Structure 1
Amino acid sequence: MSDHKQAENHLPNTAILSSISEPLLRWYQNRARVLPWREEPSAYRVWISEIMLQQTRVAAVIAYFERFLSALPDVASLAAVSDDQLMKLWQGLGYYNRARNLKKAAQIVVNEYHGQIPLEFHELLKLPGIGRYTAAAISSIAGGAPFPAVDGNVLRVVTRLTLCREDILKDRTKRHIEETLRPLYTKGPLSSMLNQAWMELGATVCIPNGAPHCAHCPLARFCLAHDNDCTAEFPIKQAKKKRRREQLTVLLLRRGDKIALRQRGSKGLLAGLYELPHLPGHLRVKEIFSALAARGFSVAEVRALPPAHHVFTHIEWDMTGFQVALRAKMSNDQQISNHLIWASMEDILHRYSIPAAFQYFLHDL
């Protein structure tokens, strides 16, 4: 088709998009999922849900959202929560720095905005952890501000609609699509509905990592990628750098009914969280005995655990694991205790935040 050639390597224009608001909103009103943050779209609830939903599926977030709101129902309680309790509430969602930024932002709201989350787009951008998408989502959904909330769902839908072949990971592409969509927005409830309709369409119909459900799409008749049978080509993304891989030997150290944990440093990967002790490389049982003896442990028994693999954004861990029963009496005990916390299963379940990478080795306890 000539339209295909004309659209290649061009950013989207409003000619295609100007006709879509009405069918998109009508579809959303009839098909929107019932979600807890939609039932009461206050600024606080929208903010928490949007941070949780970054790189996490809606179905997985619902239980976390409800637990979080039950423990921390407002911005004042979030500002005052202890770091350990916050990390425990966030456990399983990953990207723990997002939770830390939530608390920092809540403290600023309490101290500088009299406890009221601002609804102005540019004021929201001043808060830690809030970028253009989140600021637009909060200001439009909770306050009716006329700002497009352009996330991965919106980028995918718009680039397919318009055959936009620009790299969606580039800021200039996101900003241009924001500006292209802005004329569709007017102040008031329609802006809230329009942003949520885009998100809903991308999450349920024009999906990532699979063929879109074009037969159920309210915008199929406007979509150039559908017309040209090339939806799989969009969106365009620059290839990611290969992740670094590391090998670890994870040790489930047991002394009676207690398990050894240690707290990670205050900076870097999984900062401040609690982990199972581990050693670099994939060690054999004999090497584990030697390594633990050198650290003052007296080992009674070593039992292999199933291996595990965990993927972070920039690194992958290939982990072997061993459950190690320690003798009650240990040499150098005081020195060891300075580095390890001996936790009961009750503590592990309810007190200490242990990242998913180490949860693999706790499943059978």
Structure 2
Amino acid sequence: MVEWTPEKIVAFQETLLKWYDNNKRNLPWRRDHDPYHIWISEIMLQQTQVQTVIPYYERFMKLFPTVQALANADEAILMKVWEGLGYYSRARNLQKAAQQIVNDYNGQWPTTVKELQELSGIGPYTAGAIASIAFNKPVPAVDGNALRVFARLLEINEDIAKPQTRKLFENIIKKLMPKNRPGDFNQAIMDLGASYMSAKNYDSENSPVKLFNQAYLDGVEDNYPVKTKKKRPIPVNYFGLLIHSQDDYLFERRPNSGILSRFWMFPLIKGDDIQTKKDASEDDVLRALEAQFLSTYQLEIHVKKIGGRPVTHTFTHQKWQITLLEAELNNSSDLSYFPGKWISESDFREIAFTKVQTKMWERYQQQKEQ
């Protein structure tokens, strides 16, 4: 790792902020320093590209213009507004945090990183972003962009996949931040990491900070940041049941915890839960599935396979492979033991569909047309 002199630090700050002043992205959440606007945008931007977020952010603000409005929001409406952004726990944590602000802080925002991190769903990066941009606190906002930018600028050889490395970067960046414009400094790093110093197709030759980029000067940018590869997601096989009676479909509400908690989806049965012999035929599997469903929910269904390849969806640690099966059940059946209800196709637009649910429905529609 290279060390900068005090003079070089000042030169870097001036160069970076001058470029930012002239070239900063025109983003709707940058029109003011309102902590609510900054917070919502930063949570939406997790794992999501800026251009995808902008229309979501604008719709969200029309429906929930204040912390109070978000705290009092109907969860079903909130989930519908969030539909398509994924990582739905983010939306639920937003509402929990809004309720904390209203109930525990009398509607007033906490201003320190420590207090901000006590709010549901706010980690070190988001707390740093809010504290620096909204409240002018000289604290770094260390996300993937910042890790990549400073790893290249200073040739930092620490593995950014390790949790303890973030603290190291925070301490380093804190020494490089100007005390008078910490929020602009953090946002400039965000813009730099999204443009000239992006993960791929970076353009260091034309970068405003190329003379400070030690990895570029040494011709070793491809070596930074240092990051060990993630483990591959574990494949998990499911059967997705499209149980219908005319235009009504049976939906199951997911459990209160775990992946896709509390969402309405077509029932999913894990392949490992189906008791069959190793050499079982396809018909044997379908009958075993019917028996499993009857045993669990006291519902007698008749299952038939839909052609085509499985629906796949990858989460952080799992890769779901869902074989779609069509099934029939009388819609007057007793659902006392089933955690769900009949939903008419005409009412689908009122429900927040997860990406997995959307994929299953679209694949089913495709198969019906063939």
Normalization by structure 2: what TM-score?
A: 0.86
**1:257/1:353 CA distance change after superposition, 3 Å:** same
Is structure 2 residue 359 aligned with structure 1 residue 344? no
Map 1:1-365 → 2, pairs under 5 A: 7=1, 13-15=3-5, 17-188=9-180, 190-208=181-199, 210-281=200-271, 284=282, 287-288=285-286, 291-292=289-290, 295=294, 296-297=299-300, 299=302, 303-304=306-307, 306-324=309-327, 326=328, 328=330, 333-335=333-335, 338-350=338-350, 352-363=351-362
CA RMSD, Structure 1 to Structure 2 (Å) = 2.5
What's the secondary structure of 1:335's corresponding residue? coil
Give the partner amino acid of 2:342: W
Structure 1 pair 285/220, CA: closer, same or farther in 2 (3 Å)? farther
Q: Distance in 2 between matches of 1:224 and 1:300?
A: 62
- The answer (yes or no) to whether the contact 1:205–1:217 under 8 Å persists in 2 is yes
Q: Are the counterparts in 2 of residues 250 and 276 from structure 1 also a CA contact under 8 Å? A: yes
Shift of 1:345: 3.3
Between the two proteins, the alignment pairs up a number of residues equal to 349
Q: What's the offset of the Cα at 1:86?
A: 2.4
Distance 1:19 1:175, change over 3 A: farther
State which drifts further: 32-41 or 194-203: 32-41
Asked whether the equivalents of residues 309 and 319 of structure 1 are also in contact (C-alpha less than 8 Å), the reply is yes
Asked if the contact 2:80–2:352 (Cα under 8 Å) also holds between the matched residues in 1, the reply is yes
CA contact (8 A) 1:94 1:355 kept: yes
Task: Name the % identity.
Answer: 36
Distance in 2 (alpha carbons) for counterparts of 1:111 and 1:346? 38
Report the Cα offset of residue 107 of structure 1. 0.9
Separation in 2 of the partners of 1:268 and 1:298?
Answer: 27
Query: What's the CA shift for 1:319?
Result: 1.9
Give the distance between the partners of 1:215 and 1:68, measured in 2 at CA: 39
Greater relative contact order (Cα 8 A, min sep 6): structure 1 or 2?
1
Aligned partners of 1:76 and 1:115 also within 8 Å: yes
The answer to whether the 8 A contact 2:255-2:261 is kept is yes
Q: CA deviation at 1:318?
A: 1.5
> For residues 77 and 123 of structure 1, do their structure 2 counterparts lie closer, same or farther at Cα, with a shift above 3 Å needed?
same
* Native 8 Å contact 1:300 1:327 kept in 2: no
> In the TM superposition, what is the alpha-carbon distance from 1:314 to its structure 2 partner?
0.9
Letter of the 1:343 partner, please give it: I
Cα distance change, pair 66–286 in 1 and its aligned pair in 2 (3 A): farther
Gap regions ≥5 residues in structure 2: 273-280, 366-370
Contact kept, 8 Å, 1:305 with 1:323, in 2: the verdict is no
Task: Name the aligned partner's letter for residue 222 of structure 1.
Answer: F
User: What 5-or-longer segments of structure 1 have no aligned partner?
Assistant: 1-6
Q: Does the 8 Å contact 2:149/2:193 carry over to 1?
A: yes
Query: CA offset at residue 35 of structure 1?
Result: 1.3
- Paired with 1:90 and 1:355, the residues of 2 have a C-alpha distance of 10
Q: Distance in 1 between matches of 2:171 and 2:78?
A: 37
Shift of 1:299: 4.2
Q: CA deviation at 1:271?
A: 1.5
SS of the counterpart of 1:358? helix
Query: For 2:148 and 2:361, how far apart are their aligned partners in 1?
Result: 38
CA distance change for structure 1 residues 194 and 335 in 2, over 3 Å: closer, same or farther? same
TM-score under structure 1 length normalisation: 0.87
SS in 2 for 1:78: helix
- Identify if the C-alpha distance between structure 1 residues 61 and 329 changes in structure 2 by more than 3 Å, giving closer, same or farther: closer
C-alpha distance in 2 between matches for 1:205 and 1:323: 50
In structure 1, C-alpha distance between the alignment counterparts of 2:336 and 2:118, rounded to whole Å: 44
Task: Give, in whole Å, the separation in 1 of the partners of 2:155 and 2:343.
Answer: 55
